[in-house]
């Protein structure tokens, strides 16, 4: 059996350090908005090349609070890809605004800059590129497009911490970016957590206030805020893991290179790494016209897989748009994508086992 993901391996290896970090927090007994959170904020701001980072309760809250921090509210439109995790769109609704779906580029499944230009209206306020699966969206073109029209860019960087586009780390291209520490992400907490990174002083200040009841200090509540902070135990654990992120990313890239060599020549569409991009392979996602049959054969061979995602976002019951013609690439992706096991603790023998199973399944399917 080769699992799709096995987090117990990571935690067994780090257990001593994680327990020591938890003990430090217990001894200090300051559980929210303390020193561990501030230290993690400084470390991640530096990694993303941004001036500020603000820890919050989840990646979803990071997007929602960043949107409000960028001044998005009722009557505004935000451009978001038609293919992503659902939170890239629902957070726009939570902020009181309207998501406007844009189709994705077929090679990376990230927002299509040309389709984005066509979706623009006088109400457009923000564009939200998602660095899906760990590959950067075309952020240079998107940032130039936004700047020329006075729009803000909010990067959904939940899946691509440490990826680069050109000479810059993603999360440092836009006005602000969100990070998610959902347990399965490349830097995963042992629970929920998220962060807003930004170079804009005004956005950082607003998000700091929004995460803590709209408080400017000493119980002065100047606006409707929320209760969404990153707690100290998670921050301390994330700091332990952050020290490994570089080597984990190298390991993900090694696994991906092994897959790309071993799966070449099959009737599969393999992930690409565009020139100028450094992919961090949060997911290694292939495409096959008979995706469900392929997944079934792999399951029978003892290989775990997952589908990210089985529906285009506007096709979710929540939105129920009739959108096959408007966002054809997103709808096609939803029928074809299949993620293979790709986590740093996998052995090379397991990677080779997946390659063999995929080769046999493809022969079977003809």
Ligand X SMILES: *Cc1c(COP(=O)(O)O)cnc(C)c1O
> Between 181 and 248, whose beta carbon lies closer to ligand X?
181
Q: How far is the CB of 195 from ligand X (least distance, A)?
A: 10
> Between 192 and 336, whose beta carbon lies closer to ligand X?
192
> Between 67 and 361, whose beta carbon lies closer to ligand X?
67
Residues contacting residue 192 through CB under 8 Å, at least 6 positions apart: 57, 58, 181, 182, 234
Q: How far is the CB of 15 from ligand X (least distance, A)?
A: 24
- Dihedral angle sign, alpha carbons of residues 236, 237, 240, 246: negative
> Between 81 and 353, whose beta carbon lies closer to ligand X?
81
Q: How far is the CB of 158 from ligand X (least distance, A)?
A: 3
- Residue with token string 């959904």: 156
Cis peptide before 309 (omega within 30 of 0): yes
- Dihedral angle sign, alpha carbons of residues 97, 98, 101, 102: negative
Q: How far is the CB of 1 from ligand X (least distance, A)?
A: 26
Q: How far is the CB of 35 from ligand X (least distance, A)?
A: 23
Q: How far is the CB of 229 from ligand X (least distance, A)?
A: 14
CA pair distance 192, 196, nearest whole angstrom = 14
Q: In this structure, how many other beta carbons lie within 10 angstroms of the beta carbon of residue 114?
A: 12
Residues 283, 326, 277: CA angle, nearest 5 degrees: 35
281 neighbors 255 (Cβ within 8 angstroms):
yes
CA pair distance 354, 299, nearest whole angstrom = 11
Burial class of 11 by CB neighbour count within 10 A (0 to 12, 13 to 18, 19+): middle
SS3 228: coil
> Between 196 and 263, whose beta carbon lies closer to ligand X?
196
* Residues near ligand X (CB under 6 A): 58-60, 84-85, 87-88, 130, 156, 158-159, 180, 182, 192, 194
> Between 156 and 350, whose beta carbon lies closer to ligand X?
156
CA distances from 175 to 147, 214, 323, 352 (A): 10, 21, 30, 42
> Between 159 and 339, whose beta carbon lies closer to ligand X?
159
Q: How far is the CB of 197 from ligand X (least distance, A)?
A: 14
Q: Among all residues, whose Cβ is closest to ligand X?
A: 59
């Amino acid at each position: 059996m080769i699992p799709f993901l096995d987090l117990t391996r990571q935690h067994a290896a780090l257990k001593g350090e994680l327990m020591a970090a938890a003990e430090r927090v217990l001894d200090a007994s300051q559980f929210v908005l303390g020193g561990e959170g501030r230290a993690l904020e400084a470390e991640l701001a530096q990694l993303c090349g941004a001036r500020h980072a603000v820890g919050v309760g989840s990646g979803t809250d990071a997007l929602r609070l960043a949107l409000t921090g960028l001044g998005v509210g009722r009557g505004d439109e935000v451009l978001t890809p038609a293919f992503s995790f659902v939170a890239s769109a629902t957070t726009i609704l939570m902020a009181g605004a309207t998501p406007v779906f844009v189709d994705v580029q077929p090679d990376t499944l990230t927002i299509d800059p040309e389709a984005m230009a066509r979706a623009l209206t006088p109400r457009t306020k923000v564009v939200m590129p998602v660095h899906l699966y760990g590959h950067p969206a075309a952020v240079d073109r998107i940032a130039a497009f936004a700047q020329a029209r006075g729009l803000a860019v909010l990067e959904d960087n939940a899946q691509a911490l440490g990826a680069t586009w050109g000479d810059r780390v993603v999360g440092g291209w836009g006005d602000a970016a969100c990070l998610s520490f959902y347990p399965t992400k490349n830097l995963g907490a042992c629970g929920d957590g998220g962060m807003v990174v930004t170079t804009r002083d005004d956005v950082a200040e607003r998000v700091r206030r929004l995460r803590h009841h709209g408080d400017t200090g000493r119980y002065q509540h100047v606006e409707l805020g929320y209760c969404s902070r990153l707690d100290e135990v998670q921050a301390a654990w994330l700091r332990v893991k952050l020290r490994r992120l570089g080597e984990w990313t190298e390991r993900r890239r090694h696994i991906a290179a092994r897959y790309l060599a071993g799966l070449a020549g099959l009737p599969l569409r393999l992930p690409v790494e565009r020139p100028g991009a450094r992919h961090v392979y949060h997911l290694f996602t292939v495409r096959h016209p008979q995706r469900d049959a392929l997944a079934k054969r792999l399951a029978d061979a003892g290989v775990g897989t997952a589908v990210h995602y089985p529906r285009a976002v506007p096709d979710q019951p929540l939105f129920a748009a009739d959108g096959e013609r408007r966002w054809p690439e997103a709808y096609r992706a939803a029928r074809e994508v299949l993620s293979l096991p790709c986590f740093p603790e996998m052995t090379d023998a397991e990677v080779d086992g997946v390659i063999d199973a995929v080769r046999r399944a493809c022969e079977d399917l003809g």
